[in-house]
Structure 1
Amino acid sequence: MTSPASSPLPQRGATLTEQVMDFVRAAVISGELETGKLYSVYQIADRLGISRSPVRDGLLRLEEAGLVEFARNRGFRIIPTSPYDVAEIFSLRLALEVPAASRAATSCTPELTEALVELEKKMRAAAAADAEDEFFAFDQELHDLILGAARSNRGRDIVNRLRVATRLLGVSTAGKQRTLTDIVEEHSPIIEAVKAGQSAKAATAMRDHLTRTGRLLVAQAIAAQGLDVDPDQLWTDLTQDY
C-alpha cells in the first residue's frame, strides 16, 4: 500500500465508517487496493490513522453489499464486480427509482421544488469546474432526495448501497462516453417533471437516465475485462422487465 500522504480520507464531515467505505472505493478505483488480494484490517487502520473498530464496521457494510469478503483469520479481499453484477444493479435501481420518481411528482411540495432546483445548480457548477467527486456527491443526493420524497426509505438505503457497488467496479461514463454536463442534462427532465407534478414523464425520464447509464457501464465493464459478451443482450436478459 502507498504512503498515507497519497490518499487522504475523503468527504469531510462523514462518519469514520463512511470514510472507510469511501477510502476503499477510491483505493480500488486508483489501483491502491487490488481485487482478489488479501488485506488486513490492521493495514487499513494504520493506513488511515484510525482505530480498527470503524474499519471493521465499514468493511462489514461493504461485505453486506457483496463488495468484499472476509477470509477467516486471514483478512479480507475485494470481490471483482462483473458486467452481470452491473446489469443486475441497474435492474434493481430501475425497479426502485422509476416508480419513486412517479410518486415524488405526484406529491411534490414547494420545499422539494426548491431543493431540486438548488441541487441542479450545484451539479451544473461542479460540472463546469470538472469536479467529478463533488458532482457525483450531488448526483447521489438528488437521487436520494427523490426516493425520500417518494417515502421509499428502505429503497434509499438499497440504492445508496448499489451506487457504492457500481463505483467500486472502478468504471465511470464521465469523460468517456459523456461529459458531466451531459449527465446533468439527463437529470433535467426528471427534475422538471417532478416539479411539474407530471408523474408519467418523471418515471420515463428516470428510466431513460438509468438505462443509458447502465448500458454504458455494462459495455465498459465488458471491454475492461476483455469478455466475449454482447452488452445489449446481457442488458436485455437482466433488465427486460423494466
Structure 2
Amino acid sequence: MSIDAPRGRSASVIGSLAENSSLRSRVTDVLRQAMVAGELEPGRIYSAPTLAERLGVSATPVREAMMELAQEGLVEPLRHRGYRVVEVGDVVLDEIIELRSLIEVPTVGRVARIATSEQVALLRPLADRLNATAAAGELQEFIATDTDFHLRLLAIAGNGRLVEEIRRLRGMSRLSALRRLYEEDRLGATAQEHHDLLDLIEAREVSGAEELMRRHLGHVRGVWAGREEV
C-alpha cells in the first residue's frame, strides 16, 4: 500500500529522510505530522516496509517509530499486517481541545505576564516561517513549525511536563482540512495569528492573549479539522 503524493502545488508531508541524523526521532516526527495532516489516513493499514520505501530509510526505524506511536495511541499494531492509524472521532477531538484549552489558555496568560522582549523576539522567526510555509503550501514544515512555535512559547512558563503533555495532545489531533485551506487561500490568515499573539504578549495584554489563544484552538477543533467552528 502506497502513500499517494498530493496533487497541486503543495508538498507531501512524507519526504526523504535518508540523510537525516537521529533517524528514529525524525521518522517518528514525520509520521506523526503525516497523521495530524491526514496524509496517513485514519482507519487505513500501512506496512513498515512500504512506509520505509516512501521515506527512503530501512524498515527498522519505521517499526521502532510505529511502536512509539502505538504507545501514544496514534496507531494500532496488527499482527502480520502492519499498523492501522487510529481514527479520532468528534467526541475525542472535542475532549482533546478542551484539555488543551484548560492548559494552554491560562499558560499563555502567564507567559504574557512574564515573557521578556528577548524571548518574544526569538519566536518571531518561527512566526515568519509559518506565514511563508502557509503561503507555499509546505504542510510538513507548517505543522512542524507550528508545533515548535507553541511548545517554545509554552516553555517560557517554565513547566517542562506541561510542554510534553501538550506535545502528546497535539499529536492526537487530525488537521485534515489544512490542504484544502491552503488551496482556498485561507491558511495564511490563521498563520498570521501567531504574530498577533506575540504582539499581545509583548504588550502584556494578558486577557487579549488568552482570548486569541482560545480562538486559535477553536480553529484546530473546527476549520482546520474540516468542521464548523462554534
CA contact (8 A) 2:44 2:85 kept: yes
Q: Could you say which residue in structure 1 is the equivalent of 2:100?
A: 93
Is residue 2:36 matched to residue 1:2? no
- The 5 Å alignment of 1:11-30 reads 13=20, 15-21=22-28, 22-23=30-31, 25-26=33-34, 29-30=38-39
- The 5 Å alignment of 1:218-237 reads 220=226
Partners of 1:177 and 1:100 in 2: how far apart? 32
Partners of 1:39 and 1:124 in 2: how far apart? 32
TM-score, length basis structure 1: 0.73
The structure-2 alpha-carbon separation of the partners of 1:83 and 1:110, relative to structure 1 and needing over 3 Å to count, comes to same
1:63-95 Cα offsets, whole Å, 9 max, x none, are 122111123565432212212222122112111
Where structure 1 has 5 or more consecutive residues not aligned to the other structure, the ranges are: 222-230, 236-242
Higher mean C-alpha deviation, range 121-130 or range 91-100:
121-130
Q: Could you say which residue in structure 2 is the equivalent of 1:136?
A: 143
Partners of 1:126 and 1:74 in 2: how far apart? 35
1:70-127 Cα offsets, whole Å, 9 max, x none, are 2356543221221222212211211121112111111112321211222222223333
1:189 pairs with one of 178, 185, 196: 196
1:81 pairs with one of 80, 83, 88: 88
Answer with 1 or 2: which has the greater Rg.
1
The ranges of structure 1 where at least 4 consecutive aligned residues each deviate by more than 6 angstroms after the TM superposition are 3-6
- SS state of the match for residue 175, structure 1? helix
Partners of 1:37 and 1:181 in 2: how far apart? 30
CA contact (8 A) 1:193 1:199 kept: yes
Following TM superposition, by how much is the alpha carbon of 1:177 offset from its aligned partner in structure 2, in angstroms? 7.1
Aligned length: 220
The structure-2 alpha-carbon separation of the partners of 1:110 and 1:179, relative to structure 1 and needing over 3 Å to count, comes to same
CA contact (8 A) 1:4 1:48 kept: no
The structure-2 alpha-carbon separation of the partners of 1:106 and 1:176, relative to structure 1 and needing over 3 Å to count, comes to same
Partners of 2:3 and 2:194 in 1: how far apart? 38
- The 5 Å alignment of 1:210-225 reads 210-217=217-224, 220=226
Following TM superposition, by how much is the alpha carbon of 1:11 offset from its aligned partner in structure 2, in angstroms? 10
1:175-225 Cα offsets, whole Å, 9 max, x none, are 36762320123223311121122222221211121123312245x26xxxx
CA contact (8 A) 1:86 1:214 kept: yes
Q: Could you say which residue in structure 2 is the equivalent of 1:161?
A: 168
Is residue 2:179 matched to residue 1:170? no
Alignment-mate amino acid for residue 204 of structure 2: G
- SS state of the match for residue 87, structure 2? coil
The structure-2 alpha-carbon separation of the partners of 1:39 and 1:122, relative to structure 1 and needing over 3 Å to count, comes to closer
- The 5 Å alignment of 1:21-170 reads 21=28, 22-23=30-31, 25-26=33-34, 29-30=38-39, 35-45=42-52, 48-72=55-79, 74-167=81-174, 170=176
Where structure 2 has 5 or more consecutive residues not aligned to the other structure, the ranges are: 6-11
Partners of 1:124 and 1:98 in 2: how far apart? 22
The structure-2 alpha-carbon separation of the partners of 1:164 and 1:144, relative to structure 1 and needing over 3 Å to count, comes to same
Q: RMSD value over aligned CA atoms?
A: 3.4
Alignment-mate amino acid for residue 81 of structure 1: V
CA contact (8 A) 2:137 2:182 kept: no
- SS state of the match for residue 126, structure 2? helix
